[in-house]
Structure 1
Amino acid sequence: MMGIVNSFCFSMLGSIRFAGDLSPWLVIAAAGLGAVLVALIYLRESASLAAPYNYLLPALRASSVALVILVLAGPVWHRRYTVGTLGRIVFAVDQSESMSVDDSSADTASYNRLSRALRLLTGSSSQPGWLDTLSKSHDIDVVAFSSGDPITIWSTGDDVASGSASIPSSTAGRPSDNPTESGGLTGLVPSGVRTDLSSSLQMMQASGDGDAAGVGQSKAALVLMTDGRSNEGPSATDLATSLHSAGIEVHTIGIGSPDEPDDVMIVRVERPDTVAADGTLVGSIMVGQSGMDGRELSVRVESNLDGSVLWQSNVVSDGRSQQTVPFSIAVEPIVDRIHNQSVRGVQRSTEVLDLRAVVEPMLGESTTANNSFPFRTAASIRDRRMLILDGSSRWEVRYLRNLFERDPAWEVDTLLFGPGTDMPRLRRGSQSGEFPDSRESISRYDVVVLGEIPIDPFEATDAVRLREFVSRGGGLIVIDGRYDRIAPIANKFLSDLIPVRHQDRMITTVESLLPTAVGLDQPTFHIGGDPADLEPLWQQLPVPTTVAAVTAQEGAEVWAEVQDADAARSPWLVTRLFGAGRVFYLAADQTWRWRYKVADRFHARFWNQLVAAAMQPPYSSSDEYAAIGTDKIEYSPSESPVIRARLQDTGGKAVGDATVDALIIANDQVVATVPLSVDDPARGTYQGSAGMLAEGAYQIRIRASGFDASALQASTPIWVGQWNMSESSPVGLDASGLAEIASAGGGVYLHESSAAQILERLKPLSSGTIVDSDIVVWQSFYWFWAVIVLLGVEWLMRKRAGLV
């Protein structure tokens, strides 16, 4: 008889449930239909009566018929109320990728860690879960966390509001086996690429729980169910101490085995951001392993476009936790395949190589989710242009010019002027071999290298050109030297552009070159080897013999410093944004010395990466009317893509007065519209920021007033996501870390094998209980008295109306 149970909440005090065999909606529909039919039939008799008898009599008869039919639904009045004070418990379940490990040595090897944690809460067919045990006497929330804010997936508070008080049941398999299971628990799957153990503690701290805790006894508790592998966020131990002082206990349940499972993974891929379309993509793949000593690993790079294998190699695991595998791929065949799928009428200056590194899964691996690593590189089809300005042909300029002139993706213009050169006076104009004399002519370049030029030929108008060039997105690299010519130029013309102040002295006792913490995080300094060994590598490079002593201006970042014999440090590489562009300053000109015995191994890679960091990427796609581009092709979820566009009419004339929007498209649907503001009306350029986007792949197109949508075909792809394998290495249970958190929080640490003991700590938190009461309305005299009263009132009114 109780085969179907539905409920309708009327208030926090109670709700109506239906316990009949028939669907309550079917019975309600039948009652409504029956009431209408009875009212219509009755109206033929009462229509001639005076008000209110003409409508009250049919209404009374219809109501009584409806109540009789509703008996078939089995209405039950349910009430839930609290006696005493309930303790509050928050179960915080780790949902990160490391919880997908199934710990093959565990007794419950058929379940992964997340599934086992959920089974403790929901129970099984033979044993009730913790939620069932505690929900009658405690206010319970279950939240899932990885990084970011925790998400509530089940709460007794929600059940009280609905009157259902249902406890989610456990499935027989992994959580993903039944994603539609009730309660939102058994459909939970490991998905977070990072773990922030502090997030759930911060949530408790923000909620203010424990403020009203009784003396000597806490009324609230947080139970962390995790493997303890935290790689993001502040110290959970410090937060646990703060919660304990506020009257909130913090307990930890360790899920998993402390032993590292057998696994092989792709940890990271080192590669340049851009590469020439007819060049070679050279990089390295960092392969991590545990338990694979001496086994042969198959590593490859595939195209995400068609799945074809572009490079492959077999390596033998050397027993180290991580080893580097270099790769080299010809770019031109990949670009040709992409070109064959391009939209007609759209020209591209860059093509995105959408690739992934893969290590072949090995027998006995704990998980294969970390065996691939997607990455992208932009292949530059359009030649880049560089302008080098200097007052002499010093070694730094020679090697720099030769480096980029040999690169088919670059065009280099070198101007050596001043006393002792072939150009005593600086020639200005719009041709090669002349210093640009207009905004248009200097905008042809992507980056300008400013060396030690003499101050006499340099004029204020030249400084204006450089300032405009950088502010509009160009890159400027200033290379100082022993001639001390940059300081006068900076003081007289470019004090706001060059990000340092000179101290009128030179450092001649340099002991070492040291990247700062900020610099080590920049791809510019990743010039080879394991990133963990970057600092020692830089200290081994030949140091400059003479360095200009400078201090960084406000707002500038120091990426590297030199240290003298007295351990005093001075900036060597300083950078700052200026408008839409970026300026780099080097306090010495002797990076060419890095070529000693190793040729271009370090020198070429550093300069290519520094130039890439300095200049703004070009428009990646254009059609007859529009060009569009972004500052990068890959973004983290916290970054905001910068979108740039240029408009022109059929005659090629710039259009600088249109209303322009960028359309952000995912899965052929417009998911966001970004207004672009006018950047330069004379050039028809526009710019805007897209804000933070959800992880995924997007296409960006533009629409503009005065242009038909079918005419604007140019688009550019971007990807949002922070691919990071730190969540997968290591993955063994951190029991000591969890015990430390529990001790700081005044709680206990328990392994999952003895986790049931936590109930004895949680039960005393509550001094109350939740009472449920049901009144079977359809079997009670109240329901029948209601029908009798309606019929009785109808009979009295019929008598008064003269129908009886």
Structure 2
Amino acid sequence: MTLWSYTISTPALVAAIGIALATIVCSIRACRRSRGRRFIALEALRLIIVALLVFTLFKPERLTHTSYTEQPLHLVLYDMSESMATLDVADGNTFITRAEWLQAQLENEFWRPLSSDFNVQTVGFGDIAADSGDAVEGGMDAIGTDLNKALNDALTQYPDARAVILLSDGDWNLGRSPVQAAVACRRRGVPVYTVGVGSHRHLPDLILDEVRIPSYALLNEQIAVPFRVSSKLDRDVETAVRLTVEGRVLAERSIRVPAQGEVNDMLSWRADNLGRYYIDVRLPLESEEKILENNEAGGFIAIREETLKVLIVESEPRWEYRYLRNALTRDPGVDVDCLLMHPGMRRGDGHNYIRHFPGSREKLAQYDVIFLGDVGIGGNELTEKDATLIRGLIEQQASGLVFLPGSRGRIFTMIESPLAELLPVTLDPEQPQGLAAAHESRWEITTRGEAHLLTSLTRQSNKNRRVWQELPGFYWAAPVARSKPGAHVLAVHGSRRNEWGRLPLIVLRPFGNGQTLFMGTDSAWRWRRGVEDKYHYRFWGQVVRWMSHARHLAHDQDIRVFHTPETPQRGDTVFINANIFDDSGLPLSNDIVTATVTIDDDQQQLEFEAVEGGWGLYRTKWKPARSGTAEVVVSSRTTGNSLTSLLEITSVRREKIGQPARRSVLRDISRITGGSFVDSADVSQLLEAIRTAPLEHQVMERFKLWSTWWWGLIILGLCTTFWCLRKAAGVI
């Protein structure tokens, strides 16, 4: 049966009547004044247009009522995702997994009491993986559950469904919110009855997560692998995390994890063999643990032998410079060049000294890290050209820059130079000579600095804060107002503060493809007191290696490749950068650079785009479609050379066993659709509620004529025709 419905407010009704009457009066008068049928036809067209507009104000809608002649269809939608393997459903005195409980319900046909009144169909849904070909918002290649998609697909497959019984733990981690599907069900008049499967509490568990393994390390380098252990146990746990390579235990860390708490720590060992190895990090099982899969993590690491190139630029041979130069000169993995400018005097000369700043791209490109001491722009020190070259090296070739200001205040000359944006801090112009104190000031490491590899001075990260507190202090600090946006403050002044908080002392900030570091005192050399080189050498060695890490992901003489992120996950956007040089070491800016990326039997061709600046930087991006080891071959057409690097793509598993059931999600779906929610133990009550619930025997489809695009187009077309005819008749 089809009916028409009209809805209009009182003001709109009055307006419609007024418009209609005024139009009729005006048309009658116009017909009396005019002669000829042509004008009468125009007025008739005017009346038709106004009539359609008035009709539209009544919001006409066509209502079509369809009666059901067949037995109503009910869907049983059940969850088969990985999270259903959680062992937390009570079965008498024991526990079974959510999937086992669900399988028992399906085998027993729990919906049998409804069979006499309804046609029941069962539909399962599970994890969405990369190979399924489904495009999922929030990570097209992630493995997880899209509850919104499951509901929409079921209703698309069974458009005559009258109700849905959803058995799930409510864990959705992909796609849009299931509330959107619930709203669509409500509009169709389809209630969703939900059954919450699983406990709302965490299972007893000890979890090893966030294990960060670098993609490469240098031979004889101290390698740190940070990790985090979280506990879902009701007691404190004393355990040990072990790191093994090829069955050999290379590092072990004893930790104490508080009840329902977490511990951040790190494993460290010294790489003594070249090659590519798989690192396995394990956490022993506790007696009451129910989940075994999250006590292990791992990844590949390449051990290489390389020498890092460092340039130190200083004005005067202050103590900080002397001990820094000695520390890096004695480091077997570092090759140091020093430029001691001696304003007003003859420049420094001798072993590993240079007389002039490397004033060209090909000369400066060899340096992985540059230290700028108490030097500035002008005054027979650095020039604007030198500053521009340093900026390009950091921004486009992923080198590192370390600022080491001093009491001469020469760092203020950089504020108006190309290096201004590279400073990780904002300086205080009212204190150009810095902050001197008569008494020793102390360091205070921040929470971020306590866990950062650059500021780690001990193998036991839980003791790192104490080590920093016990370090010999300082009597001078740089005039810092605050850190810049995007910067990471690793250490602050122990006593001085301003309106922004504690004065930052060690600040790290990314710039372009590289990193910049600000060291706000000139007294790191004092750390040698009583312990000799223990902390001083370790800190500066870590600074050099950390600041140059991205630059050495893959390189040879003519091509350097680095990418972000370093250890991407499947579905991430990976930005691949390549620096191309000719045989003389000069950066090539007009080359054609391509890459071939191969994972198993899947191969893709990528084209790089040149980045302006003259540093031979080329960039492209790639989204891996599967996990595994990707072979990336970057080729230069001009030089004919190529570079092969390996990139580990990890899998994203959003499905986690042991998480509490998300009953709130299921309750929201039922509330919106007009259904109801029960626990898995109360399924029989739900069936009785469904059986006795009133059921509509008709479905109504509403067609809103007044809001369709083509209705508006018809009125617009008639108005256009009316205007054209009046124009042709000479009325306008």
Higher mean displacement: 197-206 or 460-469:
197-206
1:457 is matched with: 380
Structure 1 contact 616–631 (Cα < 8 Å) conserved: no
1:716 is matched with: 645
C-alpha deviations, 1:59-112, integer Å up to 9, x for none?
A: xxxxxxxxxxxxxxxxxxxxx985799999997959465x53324975496853
Cα distance in 1, alignment partners of residues 179 and 86 from structure 2: 28
Q: How does 1:229-378 map to 2 (within 5 A)?
A: 253=196, 255-256=198-199, 258=201, 260-261=203-204, 263=205, 265-269=207-211, 275-283=217-225, 300-303=242-245, 307-311=246-250, 327=267, 329-333=269-273, 335=274, 338=275, 352-359=276-283, 365-378=289-302
Cα distance in 2, alignment partners of residues 86 and 542 from structure 1: 81
Cα distance in 2, alignment partners of residues 554 and 762 from structure 1: 61
1:127 is matched with: 110
Q: How does 1:30-179 map to 2 (within 5 A)?
A: 82=68, 93=79, 95=81, 99-103=84-88, 106-107=91-92, 111-116=96-101, 118-119=102-103, 123-125=106-108, 127-128=110-111, 136=119, 150=147, 152-153=149-150, 155-160=153-158
Cα distance in 1, alignment partners of residues 589 and 571 from structure 2: 31
Change (3 A) 1:669 1:290: same
Instruction: Find the partner of 1:586 among 516, 519, 527.
Output: 519
1:484 is matched with: 409
1:697 is matched with: 629
Cα distance in 2, alignment partners of residues 386 and 626 from structure 1: 20
Cα distance in 1, alignment partners of residues 226 and 329 from structure 2: 25
Give how far 1:449 is off: 1.0
Give how far 1:763 is off: 6.8
Change (3 A) 1:86 1:585: farther
Structure 2: give runs of 5+ residues left out of the alignment: 1-65, 129-142, 700-732
Cα distance in 1, alignment partners of residues 652 and 691 from structure 2: 42
Cα distance in 2, alignment partners of residues 330 and 584 from structure 1: 25
1:435 to 2:360 alignment: no
Structure 1 contact 418–453 (Cα < 8 Å) conserved: no
2:179 is matched with: 204
Structure 1 contact 479–587 (Cα < 8 Å) conserved: yes
Cα distance in 1, alignment partners of residues 223 and 428 from structure 2: 42
Structure 1 contact 286–325 (Cα < 8 Å) conserved: yes
1:677 is matched with: 609
Q: How does 1:741-780 map to 2 (within 5 A)?
A: 750-759=678-687, 767-768=695-696
Instruction: Find the partner of 1:407 among 331, 337, 359.
Output: 331
Change (3 A) 1:537 1:650: closer
C-alpha deviations, 1:576-630, integer Å up to 9, x for none?
A: 4444333333333344556666777766665555444533634555679755443
Q: How does 1:725-736 map to 2 (within 5 A)?
A: 731=658, 733=660
1:343 is matched with: none
Cα distance in 1, alignment partners of residues 655 and 353 from structure 2: 52
SS in 2 for 1:464: helix
Structure 1 contact 403–604 (Cα < 8 Å) conserved: yes
Give how far 1:387 is off: 1.0
C-alpha deviations, 1:376-408, integer Å up to 9, x for none?
A: 445342211111122233343344334433332
Give how far 1:487 is off: 1.0
C-alpha deviations, 1:149-201, integer Å up to 9, x for none?
A: 5573574434436x999x99xxxxxxxxxxxxxx9x9xx9x9xxxx9768677
Change (3 A) 1:412 1:323: same
Cα distance in 1, alignment partners of residues 243 and 529 from structure 2: 33
SS in 1 for 2:416: helix
2:52 is matched with: none
Structure 2 contact 87–95 (Cα < 8 Å) conserved: yes
1:778 is matched with: none
Change (3 A) 1:133 1:414: farther
Give how far 1:452 is off: 0.8
1:688 to 2:612 alignment: no
1:780 is matched with: none
C-alpha deviations, 1:454-505, integer Å up to 9, x for none?
A: 6522223322332232232221111223332211243356334434442222
SS in 1 for 2:220: coil
Give how far 1:541 is off: 6.6
Change (3 A) 1:749 1:406: farther
SS in 2 for 1:407: coil
Cα distance in 2, alignment partners of residues 732 and 572 from structure 1: 41
Cα distance in 1, alignment partners of residues 70 and 525 from structure 2: 79
Change (3 A) 1:101 1:665: same
RMSD: 5.7
Give how far 1:409 is off: 1.7
Instruction: Find the partner of 1:472 among 396, 414, 420.
Output: 396
Structure 1 contact 103–366 (Cα < 8 Å) conserved: no
Change (3 A) 1:107 1:325: farther
Give how far 1:557 is off: 2.5
Instruction: Find the partner of 1:548 among 472, 478, 483.
Output: 478
Cα distance in 2, alignment partners of residues 197 and 353 from structure 1: 36
Change (3 A) 1:273 1:662: closer
Structure 2 contact 362–586 (Cα < 8 Å) conserved: no
Cα distance in 1, alignment partners of residues 469 and 651 from structure 2: 30
Scaled by the length of structure 2, the TM-score of the pair is: 0.64
Higher mean displacement: 122-131 or 482-491:
122-131
Structure 1 contact 575–583 (Cα < 8 Å) conserved: yes
Give how far 1:328 is off: 5.0
Higher mean displacement: 362-371 or 467-476:
362-371
Change (3 A) 1:202 1:443: same
1:13 is matched with: none
SS in 1 for 2:243: strand
2:318 is matched with: 394
Q: How many residues align?
A: 605
Structure 1 contact 92–144 (Cα < 8 Å) conserved: no
Cα distance in 1, alignment partners of residues 531 and 79 from structure 2: 52
Scaled by the length of structure 1, the TM-score of the pair is: 0.59
2:42 is matched with: none
Change (3 A) 1:491 1:164: closer
Structure 1 contact 629–643 (Cα < 8 Å) conserved: yes
Cα distance in 1, alignment partners of residues 117 and 524 from structure 2: 68
SS in 1 for 2:412: helix
Which amino acid in structure 2 is aligned with residue 157 of structure 1?
L
Change (3 A) 1:655 1:425: closer
Change (3 A) 1:123 1:674: same
1:662 to 2:595 alignment: yes
Structure 2 contact 198–661 (Cα < 8 Å) conserved: no
Cα distance in 2, alignment partners of residues 308 and 722 from structure 1: 24
Cα distance in 1, alignment partners of residues 335 and 113 from structure 2: 70
Cα distance in 2, alignment partners of residues 294 and 579 from structure 1: 44
1:244 is matched with: none
2:567 is matched with: 634
Cα distance in 1, alignment partners of residues 445 and 667 from structure 2: 35
